[in-house]
């Protein structure tokens, strides 16, 4: 599979405007590309062929006018399969939800549809979004279209592959500790995790509720900005969604970087960072300065604790969130259970994969009486110190740059038996979720083996408009 031509929303809309093509035609071509590539790449767990074709056909007549009103009119999209879609399977990459049909649609997906998008499928993921390679999916790993022997990253690997393989111009993922930014980095895409609370989590199957956010994948900053403008904003169904007004994310893109201060935390360029990644990110930074950005040193003194803090807080929340999958309320139920407790145990034993079980056990342990103070409470305290570190850093700069992942993409199977090695790969991304900040992956180079490398641009809370402007100026290089 080679990486396909880079489809963008603007390209498709200008073809609609000129009458060169129609939503039906674009939808048919999308389905053809999926039919040709998905068997190998395993990016999509479900293709909503009939409903997509019908919806697209209904748009054909009025599309010239619709594109002036609806930012995603006639645009094919896929969403990660932990986003609820009414009447369409929502598996979370788990046997537990293999046959689950949600009775409602997630707010972010509903807003895409209201903006005119055509949903063509649901994307593969690590089971319950736990992982960084999409190898934890109960339905087999997704493959990186740049080289199919390599992982596409995760947990939103299928959403990244769907864009990188040219199936669709944009997709949605979820990011609890890097699951949008890291696969974007591994697949050469833009991937945005908004500020915590910027996008409603209603209908996103919860992994770690204080960290989860939904965001877009795309080829360029402009398309991610457009999708953010569609999905952002308060939602009465999610009390943690922010009332903060939604910015104008499309204006001021493609400017220059004069007067912009970029913070570089030395702690993120220390040992453990692969040489190729370091070189690619440093060349990315050098190009920003060539465009007028000013570099300032900032410090994140609590960086060294972030993996431990994240894997305590995320697993604690996961153990609580996943308690609801008991064989009674949702999806899978084990048979041959004689008592209620046996029903729970057998259902959870057969329904969950190894990584999910590992996290439930870890999370239950750190919350148990006697260990709560030693682990969970201490992790929460370090989390607030990290928030203070960022507040001090943003007093000196407009955005911060770090690598997105410490290594280039790795081979399928290379780390699947080494959970700790995978966890360590999350160092630069989990930090951002703990602090609730927005961050975006931008491609910044290629490894010697021909795989993409990305850098992470971090903004201040609810400062997505500025973050996107800086990212878009950087992308022009």
Measuring CA to CA, how many Å separate 418 from each of 130, 207, 413?
Answer: 14, 21, 10
* CB of residue 408 to ligand GLN, shortest distance in Å: 16
What part of residues 128-147 is at the interface with ligand GLN (CB under 6 A)? 129-132
What part of residues 148-167 is at the interface with ligand GLN (CB under 6 A)? 155
151: enclosing H helix or E strand: none
| Catalytic (active site) residue 155 | yes
| Catalytic (active site) residue 179 | yes
The CA distance from 456 to 297, in Å, is 16
Catalytic position from the list 24, 94, 137, 155: 155
| The only residue of 23, 178, 183, 331 in contact with ligand GLN, by rule CB under 6 A | 178
* CB of residue 353 to ligand GLN, shortest distance in Å: 13
Nearer to ligand GLN, 54 or 420 (CB): 420
Q: Does 184 bind ligand GLN (CB under 6 A)?
A: no
Catalytic position from the list 94, 179, 241, 319: 179
Nearer to ligand GLN, 207 or 352 (CB): 207
Q: Does 177 bind ligand GLN (CB under 6 A)?
A: yes
The string of DSSP codes covering 222-276 is HHHHHHHHHHBS-BTTBTTS--SPPP--STTTT---TT-EEEEEGGGGSTT--HH
What part of residues 252-311 is at the interface with ligand GLN (CB under 6 A)? none
Nearer to ligand GLN, 196 or 207 (CB): 207
Binding mask 102-131 for ligand GLN (x = CB under 6 A): ---------------------------xxx
The CA distance from 361 to 229, in Å, is 38
By the 8 A CB rule, do 343 and 327 touch?
yes
Q: Does 426 bind ligand GLN (CB under 6 A)?
A: yes
CA 405, 193, 167, 92: dihedral to nearest 10 degrees? 90
By the 8 A CB rule, do 122 and 106 touch?
no
Site residue total, ligand GLN (CB under 6 A): 13
* CB of residue 135 to ligand GLN, shortest distance in Å: 11
* CB of residue 48 to ligand GLN, shortest distance in Å: 23
Of 438, 435, 445, 442, the closest CA to residue 473 belongs to: 442
Nearer to ligand GLN, 75 or 312 (CB): 312
By the 8 A CB rule, do 413 and 435 touch?
no
The CA distance from 342 to 293, in Å, is 61
What part of residues 194-213 is at the interface with ligand GLN (CB under 6 A)? 207
| Catalytic (active site) residue 70 | no
Measuring CA to CA, how many Å separate 302 from each of 93, 180, 383?
Answer: 33, 23, 9
Give the residue numbers annotated as catalytic, written as ranges. Answer: 80, 155, 179
Residues binding ligand GLN (CB under 6 A): 129-132, 155, 175-179, 207, 314, 426
């Amino acid at each position: 599979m080679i990486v396909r031509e880079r489809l963008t929303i603007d390209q498709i809309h200008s073809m609609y405007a000129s009458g060169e093509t129609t939503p039906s035609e674009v939808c048919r071509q999308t389905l053809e590309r999926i039919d040709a590539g998905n068997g190998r790449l395993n990016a999509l767990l479900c293709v909503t062929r009939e409903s997509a074709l019908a919806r697209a056909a209904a748009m054909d007549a009025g599309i010239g006018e619709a594109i002036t009103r609806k930012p995603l009119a006639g645009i094919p999209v896929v969403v990660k399969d932990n986003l609820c879609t009414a009447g369409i399977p929502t598996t979370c990459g788990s046997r537990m939800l293999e046959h689950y049909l949600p009775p409602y649609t997630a707010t972010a997906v509903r807003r895409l549809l209201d903006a005119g998008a055509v949903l063509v499928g649901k994307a593969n993921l690590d089971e319950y979004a736990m992982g960084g390679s999409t190898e934890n999916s109960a339905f087999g790993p997704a493959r990186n279209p740049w080289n199919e022997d390599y992982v596409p990253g995760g947990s939103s690997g299928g959403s990244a592959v769907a864009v990188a393989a040219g199936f669709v111009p944009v997709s949605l993922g979820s990011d609890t500790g890097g699951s949008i930014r890291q696969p974007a980095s591994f697949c050469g895409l833009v991937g945005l995790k908004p500020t915590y609370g910027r996008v409603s989590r209603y209908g996103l199957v919860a992994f770690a509720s204080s960290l989860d956010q939904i965001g877009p994948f795309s080829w360029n900053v402009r398309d991610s900005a457009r999708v953010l403008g569609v999905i952002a904003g308060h939602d009465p169904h999610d009390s943690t969604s922010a009332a903060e007004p939604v910015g104008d994310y499309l204006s001021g893109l493609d400017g220059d970087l004069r007067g912009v201060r970029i913070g570089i935390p030395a702690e993120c360029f220390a040992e453990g960072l692969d040489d190729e990644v370091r070189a690619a990110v440093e060349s990315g930074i050098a190009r920003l300065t060539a465009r007028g950005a000013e570099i300032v040193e900032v410090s994140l003194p609590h960086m060294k604790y972030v993996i431990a803090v994240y894997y305590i807080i995320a697993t604690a929340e996961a153990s609580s969130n996943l308690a609801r999958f008991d064989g009674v309320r949702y999806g899978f139920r084990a048979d041959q259970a004689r008592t209620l407790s046996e029903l729970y145990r057998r259902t959870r034993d057969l329904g969950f994969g190894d990584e999910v079980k590992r996290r439930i056990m870890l999370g239950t342990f750190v919350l148990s009486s006697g260990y709560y103070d030693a682990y969970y409470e201490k992790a929460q305290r370090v989390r607030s110190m990290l928030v203070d570190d960022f507040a001090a850093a943003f007093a000196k700069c407009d955005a911060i740059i770090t690598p997105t992942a410490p290594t280039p993409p790795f081979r399928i199977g290379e780390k699947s038996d080494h959970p700790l090695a995978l966890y360590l790969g999350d160092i630069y991304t989990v930090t951002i979720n703990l602090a609730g900040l927005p961050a975006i992956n931008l491609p910044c180079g290629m490894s010697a083996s021909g795989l993409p490398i990305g850098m992470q641009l971090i903004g201040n809370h609810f400062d997505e408009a500025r973050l996107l402007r800086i990212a878009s100026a950087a992308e022009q290089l």
